[in-house]
Structure 1
Amino acid sequence: MRNRLTEMFGIDVPIFAFTHKPEVAIEVTNAGGMGALAASYYQPDELERILTDMDEKTRGRPYCIDVLFANKVGDVVPMSERLKALPKGHLDFVEKILDDAGIPPLPPEVEAELLRDKPPGRGHTEEGILEVLEVVVKHKQARFVLSAMGAPPAHVVETLHSRGIKVGAMAGSAEHALKHVQAGVDLVVAQGSEAGGHTGTISSMVLWPEVVDAVAPIPVLAAGGVGSGRHIAAAFALGAEGVWCGTIWLGAVESELSPDMRKKFIAARSQDAIQRKYDTGKPLRVLRSKWTDAWDAPGAPEPLPLPAQKLLVIPALKRLELANAVDYMGYMSGQIVGRIKKEQTIREIVEDMKAEFQQAMDRLGR
């Protein structure tokens, strides 16, 4: 698996692991790949503590920070203004879902914490991301920053380059990839529609070679439906030089999912990962649940745009989590979820990928 990307970052294998859990990023990094921590939602002091811990536990190995430069973001409204800012019909609809499910209200201390958090959507704005990057540049092991929702501004790319940090961006089309190149990125992540989270509409098999051809000679990471060594071999065959994967780590014991949610992911089929706008206002692939079913039902309102939809649903999703209402809980999930068949450690998943990749390459060689 050694190539330009392993040389660029000084890593053993070009496996990049997107995660919301620092422990997952640490484990993949220590297994020879590169953990990529989603950092846009952290408060600066919280992120400083997390990255200091990651520095210590990764023992000099480089890791990645994932941020969300969204091209279009509506007005960011603090949680304290939620009831005034949102349509009453939408508020009533969400409350009815929770009432019908018997979900208790938020405890006062949790409600107070939500009020102290960043306003929903701030993590998608340039101002919010620059707060994150002010912390990131203090940590020498944070060698790679990826923009996951849009082209990073050229001046941000220049600033990161001046600090020795490589910059990448995620693309759902060749046109998007070319915009990233114009901004000065060092590599592009071509994310097919099978991926979890925010995605475009072009499948990986079509997208990967299109982006490779469009941005050559800039290296490309393949994302969307990656969860095994065979997928890595296929990505290489289509011109990519590494892979970016997220969903496959959710079955690990170190993941952010509760034991009950991990069981739900292990039982899920590929077709249970559906693309909807109900959690953020932008197309987001999540695991189907009674929550998504309620929004799919006749008479349900249309989701609001980003960030208003996030402002609407964040308290509801927190209530579902605290009640452990697994039937109503989804979480971001790609179609590769159907491959998660058992609970494993991160190290075991990485080793399985490496072994299967070697088997696939041997088979192709014959």
Structure 2
Amino acid sequence: MNPLRQLSLDQLRRRTSMKWRHYPEDVLPLWVAEMDVLLAEPVARAITDAVALGDTGYPCGTAYAEALAEFAKSRWDWAPAVEHTAIVPDVMLGVVEMLRLVSHRDAPVVVNCPVYPPFYQFVESLGRTVVEAPLDETHRIDFTALRDAFTRAGKGAVYLLCSPHNPTGTVHTGAELAEVARLAREHGVRVVADEIHAPITTAKFVPYLSVADDGLSLMSASKAWNLAGLKAALAIAGPASAEDLKRLPEEVSHGPSHVGILAHTAALRHGGDWLDALLTGLDENRRLLADLLAAQLPGVRWTPGQGTYLAWLDCRGLGLGDDPGKVFLKNGRVALNSGIPFGTGGKGFVRMNLATSPEIITEAVRRMASVL
């Protein structure tokens, strides 16, 4: 069964999470990265079994890392070494810890804009400078821009790679990632990869550490199985970065939720069939959105991504200004992410969350078109 077709709008409005409570009830929310799905049955069972046992203490062991290694070997023909992993509270807090491990406190951080807004927020909260290397017009890494950014950032900087890329859905190829690794070594830049969307791809996903042994990666089952409220992620080191990861303060491992780790482990080990059904449903939603835009909003340009469940919509042709999301919210009562916080290249764009039912997507586009 398509997981995206199991819940009605009335059922979804009973939820108390950010997606469904941030805006008034007359607003259709297609913004923050929550999926409108029921939990995969193996995940729900792992949680309820833990509650029945009162198994709600502190996390222990390497089951999560072992499950990820098994999943990665099956899906990507690559398996991280369990001894080169560490549990962290979530991916972005893990990113912060990796930045502290491999660079000085004032080292710049290079990003490919437009990119996930917390990249800016977390980096700047550390008192660091963000150096932008814009993607090219096809939303792929522009290596001339990346080389220039590495030069400006200087030796000792960190490149925060988003793979698959949020918001564009670009899935980087093995050749592109190998060139990233080569340029980083040439310029003395360390690479930290946010790979949280890795399971949600239609193209072949290539883990960064499969082409570079000196990088660090953050992975989680959070996005692919809708577990944002059950905090847990893994930091993974390539062989040449293992000594860096060993310096991670022990108290960082106290942050993840034990029940979260149980849920993430169950997802990776037993949630493959559910994930495949989700991927099929997301493909159907991409085709639906393309048809709806062509019929009702032909002024919107969109290249369907091969990863994530997000759509990066170019609304510059609609004449709605730099922040069309404000107009869609005020006059159409549809909540989308404004492109502006995604950095250079975000003006005139919105990000839409496709992890919902076809009916909700259809109604959202109707409302957006009514604004014009």
Question: In proportion to residue count, which structure has more helix?
Answer: 1
Instruction: Give the shorter-chain TM-score range.
Output: 0.3 to 0.5
- Structure with the larger RCO, 1 or 2 (CA within 8 Å, 6+ apart): 2
Give the structure-2-normalised TM-score: 0.33
